[in-house]
Structure 1
Amino acid sequence: MKFADLLSLSFHTVRSNRLRSGITVAIIALGITALVGIITAIGAMNQKLTESFSNMGANGFTIRFKDRGFRVSNNRELNVKRKSEKQQKKSNLNRPITLEEAESFAMLYRYPSQISLMNFAGNNANVSTASRKTNPTVALIGGDENYLDLNGFSIQGGRNLSRADVVSTAAVCLLGYDVAKKLFGDDVSIATGKEVRINNGLYKIIGVLKSRGSTFGFSRDNVAIVGYKNLAQYFAANSFAIGVKTSGINRVEQAMGEAEGTFRNVRKLSVTEESNFVLERSNSVAEKAMKSLGYITAAVTIIGLITLIGAAIGLMNIMLVAVTERTKEVGLIKAIGGKRSSIHTQFLTEAVLLSLAGAVVGIALGIVLGNLFGIVLQTAFVVPWNWIVYGVVICTVVGLAAGLYPALKAGRLNPVEALRYE
């Protein structure tokens, strides 16, 4: 029997048992939908992370305070640590970066680069005018004239902070687009030159920032930026951070090495003391997040494969039932000269057809569901081409594995006994 005839017969058999075939396809499609859907959603999340952090650039890094925390691995380690700390002339551990240290670094650092000093007073600030006010959820940031460039902001109207604004602790501010829109309506250009209260302090708006959209539902435009000296003087600010931007990605490693040496001198660390600060590349946050998503992808893949194993068992069970129901048909094929290999091929083809039908349905539904999540994140349409191929291959293997034993069982039937089977 030719393969085309076997394929046609397999199609006819699958179509003639629509309920059973539909249930089998649904079982397989469910596993593939979950697998491809979550992979597509993770692809959308990766895309959003890339977009969110791309403005920060790969040619920059940040120096920030290293919170040592409290950890005891064993008593011996603790005793050694205490003894080591007693031998130090002056402890620099658990000390945030101060204004003086940040400015000293900016003065002493000689590597060709752009430097920005910054601090943060939390994301619970209130910004108000005489008639309107925001919710107490505005992020209050202290920066300098280089802060916008190093952090991917740009001016929509007005001007940036100047060096004079920062040094004089002038009561001026930049408002994020969402804050300006909340206070002044859609025409945010009218905000420049007006006065607002940030918590209890009166500030003049010198500029409004362009919108940068949101990340995972959180607005990146819900910010107010003042000079870092002003923030340190009038608000409960945290440790300073120092942003450094080099002229190219190939210069970052060298710049980081020189920055660490310079800042160790600023922090007065001896050669025996570990650095109590961290140098973090601008894209490292995105890389860590994507690495975490990679772990999620691996876990989802394992869960999806377990689901498909269950689907394979169900498919095998249905094919075994089909062998029992079609015993006379198999006997007739053998009686008229049909070969055992033809019977094997027919049952395997039926199993693969059912499995591939489940793959097609599951892949389509998975892409749709995954991109519904992408719509929420406002990302472009994502098609996981590699997982489409993987899905087809996996389902083909599942079909072959599930149909192999029933096919072998059908091929071993005695034609005489099969014809007499009731």
Structure 2
Amino acid sequence: MNLIENIREALNSVKVHLLRTVLTGAIIAIGISSLVGMLTAIDGIKAQIAESFAGLGANSFDIRNKGFSGGRVVQDGKTEKNYPSVTFREAQKFKEDYSAIGISTVFNVVSGAAEVKRGSKKTNPNTRIRGGDENYLSIKAMKLTKGRNFSNMEIRYGNSVAIIGREIEELLFEPGEDPINQKITFLGRPYTVVGVLDKQGGVGQDQGADRQILIPIENASRLDKRGTFNYRITGVASDPGKLDYEMGQAIGIMRKVRQDRVGQEDSFELTKSESVAESLEEVAGYLRIGGFGIGFITLLGASIGLMNIMLVSVTERTREIGIRKALGATPLRIRQQFLIEAIVICMIGGIFGMLLGIGIGNLIANFIGPGGFLIPWLWMIISFVICIIVGLLAGYIPAYKASKLDPIESLRYE
């Protein structure tokens, strides 16, 4: 009896005992579908979150002063060259030149402890005042719940208009009162409210995101009486795959703006804004580990069930095994036959499990947020390999038991 005949006999046995094959394959299918389904859902949700929060850093880069705050850079305890801070005009020039490649925003922090007044009402002196341009809200993924963004004219001429956080609205305005076009005062100057930011929340007791006010960057630059404001630039790549290339372009533009000479090191810092992407990948990694662990436990239970069914099959087919041995089948051929049966059952269940898992995973991911259809080729390959391993492990003990049966005793078995 050669290997081809063994495979034919194993397939015939699977066909004859169809109900048992279906039930056993269903056990494997459930285990594989739980594994593939969870991992597919995790990857799908991650892709959607990454797309939704691309503006928060997964597709952008920052340009700022050398050493974060300008001045002298200290490395290894040694004070090195003094680098001037990025000025407002330099930041604006970069934005203008970079517009041929992609969009960017220029922003700064005017004050981190301002008091805002409206009539007799006032806030605690803990309001953050920031200067920004027309691209700031979109690049930083901030939404407006009321009003509008700054117009190009307001940005160009630095009009005294402001976009306030949700907490500022609650403190200075009555419930139901429309804050749009109302006057508020901070830093000794009156400003007209043109928009209200959507509630963003914060970490712990820090609700600073809802306690901020955004004013036009040109207006903010006029408040820089001593020339100490730090201006930062965030650029967005036109395509995630071109991020490194466009960062190189940005370096060239900024070097030209800053008049850095050939051979001289950059007088500014450019870094990828990857904090959100890295955090997201880290969380997704933990979820994958958890999903794989749960799926593996399910598969372990399925393999034990398969082994039990194969042991029952060996007992039922004792007489058949005796006949095969009497006709010259070696223990190796007997082991091969039962191993092939176990692997075939696992593969049939695994294929259905993979298809079911892909469907369930994409259904969960699209239920949470609309997205495309994800086919996890890596997890499919891993699942296929797992099916073969499970079949080998679950089938080996029954196959070994069958190969050790005495042919004479087997022929007497009723």
Q: Distance in 2 between matches of 1:347 and 1:48?
A: 41
1:207 shift after superposition: 2.0
Does the alignment pair 1:385 with 2:375? yes
1:221 shift after superposition: 8.3
Aligned equivalent of 2:391: 400
Q: Distance in 1 between matches of 2:19 and 2:225?
A: 74
For 1:142, the aligned partner's letter is G
Is 1:157–1:208's contact at 8 Å kept on the other side of the alignment? Answer: yes
The verdict on how the C-alpha distance between 1:158 and 1:334 changes in structure 2, with shifts beyond 3 A counting, is closer
For 2:254, the aligned partner's letter is E
Aligned equivalent of 2:217: 228
Aligned equivalent of 1:193: 181
Aligned equivalent of 2:11: 3
Q: Distance in 2 between matches of 1:247 and 1:337?
A: 69
The root-mean-square deviation of aligned C-alpha atoms, in Å, is 5.8
More off after superposition, 239-248 vs 379-388: 239-248
Is 1:308–1:398's contact at 8 Å kept on the other side of the alignment? Answer: no
Is 1:66–1:276's contact at 8 Å kept on the other side of the alignment? Answer: yes
Q: Distance in 1 between matches of 2:21 and 2:61?
A: 64
- Give unpaired runs (5+ residues) of structure 1: 70-76
Is 1:42–1:293's contact at 8 Å kept on the other side of the alignment? Answer: no
Is 1:10–1:350's contact at 8 Å kept on the other side of the alignment? Answer: no
Note the 1:303-318 alignment, pairs <5 A: 317-318=304-305
Aligned equivalent of 2:342: 347
Q: Distance in 2 between matches of 1:246 and 1:357?
A: 41
Is 2:319–2:412's contact at 8 Å kept on the other side of the alignment? Answer: no
Does the alignment pair 1:12 with 2:20? yes
Note the 1:69-84 alignment, pairs <5 A: 78=76, 81=78
Q: Distance in 2 between matches of 1:254 and 1:313?
A: 50
SS of equivalent to 1:380: coil
The verdict on how the C-alpha distance between 1:407 and 1:194 changes in structure 2, with shifts beyond 3 A counting, is same
Is 2:105–2:235's contact at 8 Å kept on the other side of the alignment? Answer: yes
The verdict on how the C-alpha distance between 1:399 and 1:104 changes in structure 2, with shifts beyond 3 A counting, is closer
Is 2:50–2:58's contact at 8 Å kept on the other side of the alignment? Answer: no
Match of 1:256 among 246, 250, 254: 250
Q: Deviations over 1:77-136 (max 9, x none)?
A: 837x55xx3xx5xx23xx754xxx222454699847487532035888786756999999
- Give unpaired runs (5+ residues) of structure 2: 1-8, 70-74
For 2:217, the aligned partner's letter is Y
SS of equivalent to 1:385: coil
Aligned equivalent of 1:43: 44
More off after superposition, 176-185 vs 399-408: 176-185
For 1:224, the aligned partner's letter is I
1:417 shift after superposition: 3.2
SS of equivalent to 1:119: strand
Q: Distance in 2 between matches of 1:327 and 1:246?
A: 63
Is 1:46–1:290's contact at 8 Å kept on the other side of the alignment? Answer: no
Is 2:14–2:21's contact at 8 Å kept on the other side of the alignment? Answer: no
Note the 1:181-220 alignment, pairs <5 A: 190-196=178-184, 203-208=190-195
The verdict on how the C-alpha distance between 1:400 and 1:184 changes in structure 2, with shifts beyond 3 A counting, is farther
Match of 1:275 among 233, 250, 266: 266
1:44 shift after superposition: 1.9
As a proportion of its length, which structure holds more strand?
2
Does the alignment pair 1:285 with 2:280? no
Is 1:161–1:227's contact at 8 Å kept on the other side of the alignment? Answer: no
Q: What TM-score comes out, normalization by structure 2 length?
A: 0.62
Match of 2:318 among 318, 331, 343: 331
Q: Distance in 1 between matches of 2:154 and 2:190?
A: 16
The verdict on how the C-alpha distance between 1:259 and 1:411 changes in structure 2, with shifts beyond 3 A counting, is same
Q: Distance in 2 between matches of 1:317 and 1:150?
A: 53
1:193 shift after superposition: 1.6
Is 2:56–2:276's contact at 8 Å kept on the other side of the alignment? Answer: no
Number of residue pairs matched by the alignment: 380
The verdict on how the C-alpha distance between 1:6 and 1:104 changes in structure 2, with shifts beyond 3 A counting, is closer
Is 1:139–1:223's contact at 8 Å kept on the other side of the alignment? Answer: yes
Aligned equivalent of 1:73: none
Q: Distance in 1 between matches of 2:372 and 2:93?
A: 47
Q: Distance in 1 between matches of 2:220 and 2:231?
A: 11
The alignment-based identity, stated in percent, is 16
Q: Deviations over 1:256-299 (max 9, x none)?
A: 2443323543xxx787864352235xxx536x644665566566
Aligned equivalent of 1:72: none
SS of equivalent to 1:204: strand
1:36 shift after superposition: 3.9
For 1:172, the aligned partner's letter is V
Aligned equivalent of 1:63: 63
For 2:273, the aligned partner's letter is V
